[in-house]
Amino acid sequence: MTQDTALLAATDQPQGATALAERKVFIKTYGCQMNVYDSGRMSDALAAEGYVATETMDDADLVLLNTCHIREKAAEKVYSALGRLRETKKARAAEGREFMIGVAGCVAQAEGDEIARREPAVDVVIGPQTYHRLPQALKRARSGERVVDTEYALEDKFEHLPDPTRVKGRARSVTAFLTVQEGCDKFCTFCVVPYTRGSEVSRPIAQIVSEAEKLVAAGVRELTLLGQNVNAWHGMDASGRPIGLGDLLYRLADIPGLARLRYTTSHPRDMDDRLIEAHRDLRMLMPYLHLPVQAGSDRILKAMNRRHNAADYIALVERIRAARPDIALSGDFIVGFPGETEADFQATMDLVETIGYAQAYSFKYSTRPGTPGADLPDHVAEDVKTERLARLQELLLKQQQDFSRSLIGSEIDLLLEKPGRMPGQLIGRSPWLQSVNVDANQSKIGDIINVRITAAGPNSLFAEVAEG
């Protein structure tokens, strides 16, 4: 979820675009699934300008860095990449070739003017709420203007983006992300999201359903709904009745051809009864829930401004598991938050033991400039954070491995997503989001087949096609 990825998503050019000179774009995507979605939508917007994707940065006429500000040294990574791109731009200029550089995403939002000041080679800096203006920003940059567009847009960016279509040259993947909510109003003291993504905004249900239907028509079988705080999504149904994420999931489950639903990332405070009922009632809603708790100490949770305590979280998980017994939990943990004692850390270990996670993400606390956590006293020594993180990750890894091994011998439905490394091998995702390798010569990508789990590796499962 936090690992840097490169996303090269392109769409067919609309009619009339062939008259434009074809340019190539390389998009480097850092961070979360929402950035992956945003990169794809930026690629959609650029397709109308004649841009097609390239998997090689050296071939690109435009390089976009879609950045993430969540982790430590995020900005330094961006400036390091920009330093290398600056040299490429000089070499291209000597050859008389165009080479444009753009910075998008949360680092752009947080440090737009500073990026423009420190790195003159950058042509465009554009925030996550204004990337629908990217084609216009590039036109302005070609006329000699350096564009920094990080104001929160008054218009709905989704209304200005092209409809999702088939990826040029091949069918769209059988899985897709769909952003339904952006921003956060929780103001956890460690988090920059409210400052880089803004306040909570929910897309209208009709807009979401329309995009989902187009994705399914293009071959998508599994949708993952995205939001910085996705279960805070709210809207109105056709009769004007206020509804939440649970109702949205029920509505999407009615789309013909859609086989699976997921959503991420959730906040415990917004996990309401209707959403829990959706997990109980909708078999197509996968039994996997990412529900970050961050810490097990009530004192640290209060300092984090999480506005729940450990007992609240444990009781919530019990309610969810009562509704969907086969559900697997994933979580986020921060070790070494300012003021954390050994007793506070042990409370986190105790909570992990109580819950039992199938997967989790854990990190040492790092100060994010501009957040309240940066000004708190009693910061924990780096070596202490490192030692505590090692202990926590050892426990989380054991729980993950135990969960994977518990599936050996069971039969599951597997959505086949891509070819494997070996001839005849295909790779899919289990209902619990694990990668599964299977020899399936008689099947094709997009099929959902019944398989029997035969082995569990460190990061994936192995299976055989179940007979009958």
Q: With H, G, I as helix, E, B as strand and everything else as coil, classify residue 33.
A: helix
Task: Judge contact between 168 and 161, C-beta under 8 A.
Answer: no
The phi, psi pair for 199, rounded to 5°, reads -75, 165
**CB count in 10 Å sphere of residue 147:** 20
Flag whether 263 is marked binding: no
3-state secondary structure the chain: CCCCEECCCCCCCCCCHHHCCCEEEEEEECCCHHHHHHHHHHHHHHHCCCEEECCCHHHCCEEEEEECCCCCCHHHHHHHHHHHHHHHHHHHHHHCCCCEEEEEEHHHHHHHHHHHHHCCCCCEEECCCCHHHHHHHHHHHHCCCCEEECCCCCCCHHHHCCCCCCCCCCCCCCEEEEECEECCCCCCCCCCHHHHCCCCEECCHHHHHHHHHHHHHCCCCEEEEECCCHHHCEEECCCCCEEEHHHHHHHHCCCCCCCEEEEECCCHHHCCHHHHHHHHHCCCECCEEECCCECCCHHHHHHCCCCCCHHHHHHHHHHHHHHCCCCEEEEEEEECCCCCCHHHHHHHHHHHHHHCCCEEEEEECCCCCCCHHHHCCCCCCHHHHHHHHHHHHHHHHHHHHHHHHHCCCCEEEEEEEEECCCCCEEEEECCCCCEEEEECCCCCCCCEEEEEEEEECCCEEEEEECCC
Q: Is 431 annotated as a binding residue?
A: no
Q: Is 106 assigned a ligand-binding role in the annotation?
A: yes
d(CA 107, CA 404): 36
Q: What is the DSSP letter of 175?
A: E
Burial class from Cβ neighbours inside 10 Å (0-12, 13-18, 19+) for residue 204 reads: middle
89 a known binding residue? Answer: no
Amino acid at 178: L
Cα radius of gyration rounded to whole Å, the chain: 23
- Burial-class residue 199 by CB neighbours within 10 Å (0-12, 13-18, 19+): exposed
Q: Is 68 annotated as a binding residue?
A: yes
Flag whether 392 is marked binding.
no
* Known binding-site residue numbers for [4Fe-4S] cluster: 32, 68, 106, 184, 188, 191
* Known binding-site residue numbers: 32, 68, 106, 184, 188, 191
